[in-house]
Structure 1
């Protein structure tokens, strides 16, 4: 699990993309230029949560170490501690992978 010195605020999370498959099921090797960015990642940092209308803190459903699926255009790409990461809201996450 990657460590970062960045702490997201509110309902934001920091996600590290998982590596895409290097070849197809039929064994064809995919060159880097043809690969799509993976839509699966690992949570490496989470914010404390969002506040509801009454001001009560609502914690996030995801935690550090969870493997998640997110939308193709979700989040903002940043480089932190030499790593390419995504910062996104919890609502951009579609679900946790088994």
Structure 2
């Protein structure tokens, strides 16, 4: 029987190497005028996310650490595929490699 690790808080998840922990933006379930949207129109994952934490970076072929290109709090654009999901309570987070992140979104 396989044991399952329970993650109690997302702050206990520390990404390694060039991994980036993100939380996707939650889709709106209600319009500005108060109309509730059906679940089918809000289930597709949005490609935007907020960076929660980052790893220190990965070594290049010379052994030098190359830092990740984003930091906690950045808003990023993600691909529609990839990443590993982590569920903490009702919240879902994703781990991506730094190279998989498509863009940083400027405010």
Q: TM-score, normalised by structure 2?
A: 0.77
Q: Distance in 1 between matches of 2:93 and 2:25?
A: 10
* Equivalent residue pairs, number: 95
Structure 2 equivalent of residue 86 of structure 1 = 94
Shift of 1:3: 5.5
Quote the residue 2:39 is aligned against.
32
Tell me the equivalent position of 1:13. 20
SS at match of 1:21: coil
Alignment match, 2:29 = 22
Where in structure 2 are there 5+ consecutive unaligned residues? Answer: 1-8
Structure showing greater radius of gyration is 2
What's the Cα RMSD here? 2.1
Deviations 1:2-33 (A, max 9, x none): 952110111001100112233679x9753123
In the alignment, the residues of structure 1 paired with residue 12 and residue 87 of structure 2 have an alpha-carbon distance, to the nearest angstrom, of 12
- Structure 1, unpaired ranges of 5+: none
Q: Give the match for residue 43 of structure 1.
A: 51
Match of 1:72 in 2: 80
SS of alignment partner, residue 86 of structure 2: strand
